[in-house]
Each structure stands twice: as C-alpha cells, then as structure tokens.
Structure 1
Amino acid sequence: MARRKLSHEGTLVLDCEGLSRFVNDHEPVVALVTEARRRGMEVVTSALTIIEATHRRTDRARLAWVLSGTRVVHVGDAEAKAASALLMDAGLHGHKYAIDAAVAEMALRQQRPVVMLTSDIDDMVRLCGDRVRLVAV
C-alpha cells in the first residue's frame, strides 16, 4: 500500500469519517495519522464531530484512547457565527451542512498547512476553498 505524503508541521483535521475510521482502526487512516504525528503535525477534531461519529456500535474505549491524543476544538458563539457565514458564502443551508461548516471553520483557523481527512470532498471544497488540503477517506 502506498502512503500519501503529508506536509511537515501544520495540522491534520479529522472530520466525521476521518475520526470514525481512525476509531475503527482503518489501516490507511491510522497510517496517515501516524505519519502526520511523525512529521510534527497536530491532530485535531471538532467537539461536534465526536457527536456525529458516535453511535451504538462505537468502541467507547477506543474512542477515548483516540481522543486522548487528539485536540478537541470546542464551538462557541464566535465560531458558530463564522461557520454560518461560511454557509451563506457557499450557498448552503445549515440544516444539512451545519456540522460540516463548523468543521470547515475550525480547520481554517488551524496552523498551516492544514490537511483534512474527509469523505465530504465536494462540500468541504465549497466551504474551505483551496485553503485546506482535502484527503478522501
């Protein structure tokens, strides 16, 4: 299996699918997170992503372990307003894209370069533009 190369330093953002696959020990995602950490990148996720990624079959012990090595970014008033502005600029509605917008807004504030592991490439391109490197998982 060929590894995708990540930039030195910066931030690796896990959206719902990135976090879910990391929790489920999905080999390509584990390899990307390991490589990112080796290169000095900080691994982050949104507090909202934890809610989105958790379900009845989630291995809670594994989730706790993953989160112990991940910075969880909280969403407050200012972040919610900025995410709302991203939605409006992208022509999207909060009902369907609220968590994506919050994750995109959080990603845009991280130390560059920023790489996001996501299954929502099209939506994230609309929200982040070219300011975040998107890696499909």
Structure 2
Amino acid sequence: MARRRVTHEGTLVLDCEGLSKFVDDHPSIVALVAEARSRGMEAVISALTLIEAAHRRMNKSRLAWLLSGMRIVHVGEEEAKAASSMLIAAELHGHKYAIDAVVAEMAIRQPRPVVMLTSDIDDMKKLCGDRVRLVAV
C-alpha cells in the first residue's frame, strides 16, 4: 500500500514556555494547538527546546505522547551558524539568547505561514522580524 503524502498549510512553532504549558495541559495553549492543527498547520519544536523544557516534575508520559504528534527539528552546524548570524544582526549575544536564536532560525525556515507560541515576544521580534507571527503565552 502506498504511503499517503501529508501536506501542511503552515507551521506552529512552540518555544520552551509553549511546550511546557502544552505538557501542563494549559487550556489556552491546548486550544491554540488544536486550532492550528484544524487549519492544517504542523506543530514543531527545536531539539533544543526539548532540552530547555525538561525538568524533574514534568509529566514524561504526556510529553512523550505530545511529541509523537510533533516534528522535532534537529540542529546542525549550518543551523548553528545561521542562528549565530541572527544574534549578531539583532545585536544580542550570550547564553541568555542562544536557544532563542536557534528556535528563531528554525522557525523562519518552516513552511509559511509560521506562528510561534512564545513567552519571549521582545527577543523573538528582534530575531524573527516580521517573518514569524508571534503569539504571547
């Protein structure tokens, strides 16, 4: 049997806070993800977001279940270089912004339209500009 090709109508990116609230079953985040999926958007996270969001009390079973329905985007050398360039262009530096830059770089490469659920609107605006619609969580 031939495998059916899935096409997506845009991308929903979750940053650390978006993923954490999704795992915690926060009603507004669950509703936003459900709405995005109903519109054909694919939910994605950066591999670094998974690391950033991890903590001892996190519901690991729920996390695993939610991740099974999301695409995890890996970070390689080219992505790291591009994120570094974005930091410089935004006049940001240091570990405080490193993961944000990786998430922003990943977001701008996704199929449009791109919407990001983030708690860091100001920094993400500096990094993404108008290429990604930012939604505060």
What is the TM-score with the length of structure 2 in the denominator?
A: 0.93
Rg larger in structure? 2
Question: 1:44-83 to 2 correspondence within 5 Å?
Answer: 44-83=44-83
1:94 Cα shift?
3.1
Which residue number in structure 2 is paired with residue 88 of structure 1? 88
Distance 1:16 1:133 in 2: 17
Say whether the 8 Å CA contact 1:84–1:94 is kept in structure 2: no
Q: Does the Cα contact within 8 Å between 1:47 and 1:73 map onto a contact in 2?
A: yes
The CA deviation at 1:53 is 0.5
Using the size of structure 1 for normalisation, the TM-score is 0.93
Stretches of structure 2 lacking an aligned partner (at least 5 in a row): 1-7
Gaps of 5+ in 1: 1-7
Q: C-alpha root-mean-square deviation of aligned residues, in Å?
A: 0.9
Query: Which residue is equivalent to 2:5?
Result: none
Residue-pair matches, total: 130
Cα offsets for 1:27-56 (capped at 9, x unmatched): 000000001111100000000000000101
- Cα separation, 1, equivalents of 2:39 and 2:94: 35
Identity %, equivalent residues = 77
